[in-house]
Amino acid sequence: MGSPAYVTVQFAQSRKGPPMTSLFQILMLLLDVAFFIVIAHVILSWLINFGVLNLRQPIVAQIWDGLNRLLEPVYGPIRRALPAMGGLDLAPLVVFIGIYALRIILTNNMAFFL
């Protein structure tokens, strides 16, 4: 077999660094979380606009305020870049497309993380 030092050196040479699979998984998880936050914001905005939920309810107001604080820095530049569409807000759609594009880019370049 060999001495323990030889085995250690051979093991160290076989591993060329820590695998970055966990980094890939963390990035995909963050994209999934961002996707569901945007979904929650869109659904909550529909429920508020259709009168199903009321902003005078404290829990609804807190959730709405929290989601707005999270997403407004993302939506703001997108809304400024998009033309005025009347009452239609296309910023969440652009964010969905961006998240999906990032997922495609990460998945196609997964070999970089292995």
Q: What is the DSSP string of 21-69?
A: HHHHHHHHHHHHHHHHHHHHHHHHHHHHHTTSS-TTSHHHHHHHHHHHH
Q: In this structure, is residue 41 part of a structural domain?
A: yes
Q: In this structure, is residue 7 part of a structural domain?
A: no
Q: In this structure, is residue 89 part of a structural domain?
A: yes
Condensed to tens digits (0 to 9), the pLDDT of residues 3-31 reads 555 544 444 445 554 577 888 889 999 99
Q: In this structure, is residue 82 part of a structural domain?
A: yes
- Please provide the average confidence, as pLDDT, over all residues in the chain: 86
* pLDDT score at 2: 53
Query: Into how many domains does the chain fold?
Result: 1
* pLDDT score at 18: 57
DSSP 8-state code for residue 15: -
Residue 48 reports pLDDT greater than 50: yes
> What predicted TM-score, i.e. pTM, was given to this entire model?
0.77
